[in-house]
Amino acid sequence: MGERALRGTRLGATSYENDRNTDLAPRQEVPYTCPKGHHFDVPLAAEAEIPATWECRNCGATALRVDAEQPQQKKAKPPRTHWDMLLERRTIEDLEEVLNERLAILRAQRRKSA
C-alpha cells in the first residue's frame, strides 16, 4: 500500500487482510430457548463441547439448549449468619448472662447521668 492510502486510517485497529484462500473451521448452529420464550442460535465450532445452558441475548436469563435436559443444581450450603457463628462459640444461657451484665452496666450509667 502506498503512503497516501494509509493516511487518515487507524493503523493496527483495522485489518486489511481478506478471507480469500482461507478455510474456516467447521461450525454448527446450536438452538437455545429462554424461559421467557426467546429462541436463538449460537454458532459453535463442530468439535467444541456444547454447553447445556447459555445466557439469553435478549433478557440475560439462562437459556436451555433445545435438545438438552435441565442440568442438576449443585447442592449449596446455606450462608452462615452472625447468629449461627455466635451459637458455635456460646450457649443461650451464656448469651443471656452477658446480656444481663451489659444491661446492668447501661442502667447504672443512666442513673449516674440522671
Residue closest to 16 by CA, chosen among 5, 28, 32, 31? 5
Q: Read off the pLDDT band of 9 (50, 70, 90).
A: low
Residues paired with residue 36 on neighbouring β-strands, in sequence order:
none
pLDDT digits (tens, 9 = 90+) for 79-97: 999 999 999 999 999 999 9
Per-residue confidence (pLDDT) for residue 95, from 0 to 100: 95
> What's the pLDDT band for 4 if we cut at 50, 70, 90?
low
Q: How many CB atoms sit inside 10 A of residue 53's CB?
A: 14
DSSP 36: T
Give residue limits of the domains in the chain.
27-65, 82-113
Give 30's strand partners.
42
Binding residues: 34, 38, 56, 59
27-65: CATH superfamily: RNA polymerase-binding protein A (2.20.28.270)
Which residues carry a binding-site annotation for Zn(2+)? Answer: 34, 38, 56, 59
The residue-averaged pLDDT of 100-104 equals 96
Mean pLDDT score across all residues of the chain:
85
